[in-house]
Structure 1
Amino acid sequence: MKFSHLGVPTSDHFDGEIDLPHLKMTVSDHRNNPYGIQWMRFWEDAEYPDLVKNVPHVAFEVEVMAKALEGKKVIIEPNSPSEGLLVAFIEVNGVPIELMEYKI
Structure 2
Amino acid sequence: MKKKFYKTVKVEKNDITYLDRCFFVDYYILETQKSTERHGYIKSFGIEAVKRYTDYFENNVIQEDRAYDITQSENEIYAFAEKLARNTVTPVCLADAVSDFIGEEEPEKSAV
What TM-score does the superposition give when structure 1 sets the normalisation length?
0.26
Higher helix fraction (1 or 2): 2
Structure possessing the higher relative contact order (Cα contacts under 8 Å, 6 or more residues apart): 1
